């Protein structure tokens, strides 16, 4: 079994370009490129800030990252890479739902709250549009899970896109899906 450092490298390898990886990570995370490089080459362990950023940026991999266990039905998948040629179907709506919940949590914390569950139910000062976005992504996630249950080979690329249905291992097509995540 891979340790958390090796799993985190797999996530980063699958989600960041090889050329300029550390610069890209610094630009996106605010964590110095030297720290990412030291982690990558085994000179330091991943710190909590790095792990938290990776988990919040790619929440579909968070459960596997910290436990080493995948749960594809719940949207917790393994990144596709040369090491892992698994037959796990990406769950783009689960990933979008996870990201929407993270955005909602950040928004409620910034407003002095901390309980996104109650904000989700009562509004708690969060704009209704944000609540609607979370609700919509949750509904689409349920549809996604039901499709997976009905047909474990369900391929959202096939169902949601016209034309190319060949999976190339990348998740770039996920960005083409409608975005229900709050931008502010």
Extents of the domains making up the chain: 4-74, 92-176
Q: What local confidence, expressed as pLDDT, does residue 28 receive?
A: 97
Q: How much of the chain exceeds pLDDT 70, in percent?
A: 66
**74-125 residue pLDDT tens:** 788 888 755 554 445 566 778 788 888 888 888 877 777 655 454 445 556 6
How many angstroms separate the CA atoms of 54 and 57, rounded? 5
Q: What is the pLDDT of residue 154?
A: 47
- What mean pLDDT value characterizes the chain? 75
At the top level of CATH, which class does the domain 4-74 belong to? mainly alpha
Q: Is 0.75 topped by the overall pTM?
A: no
- Which residue did the predictor score with more confidence, 50 or 130? 50
What values do phi and psi take at 86, rounded to 5? -90, 160
């Amino acid at each position: 079994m891979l340790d958390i450092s090796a799993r985190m490298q797999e996530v980063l390898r699958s989600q960041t370009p090889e050329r300029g990886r550390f610069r890209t990570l610094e630009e996106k995370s605010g964590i110095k490129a030297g720290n990412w490089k030291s982690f990558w080459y085994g000179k330091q362990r991943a710190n909590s800030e790095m792990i938290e950023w990776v988990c919040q940026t790619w929440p579909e991999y968070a459960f596997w990252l910290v436990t080493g266990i995948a749960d594809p039905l719940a949207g917790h998948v393994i990144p596709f890479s040369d090491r892992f040629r698994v037959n796990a179907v990406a769950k783009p709506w689960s990933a979008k739902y996870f990201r929407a919940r993270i955005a909602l949590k950040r928004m409620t914390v910034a407003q002095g709250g901390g309980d996104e569950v109650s904000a989700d139910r009562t509004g708690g000062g969060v704009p209704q549009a944000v609540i609607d976005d979370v609700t919509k992504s949750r509904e689409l996630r349920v549809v996604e899970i039901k499709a997976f249950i009905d047909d474990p080979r369900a391929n959202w690329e096939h169902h949601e896109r016209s034309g190319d249905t060949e999976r190339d291992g990348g998740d770039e097509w996920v960005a083409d899906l409608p975005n229900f995540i709050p931008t502010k």
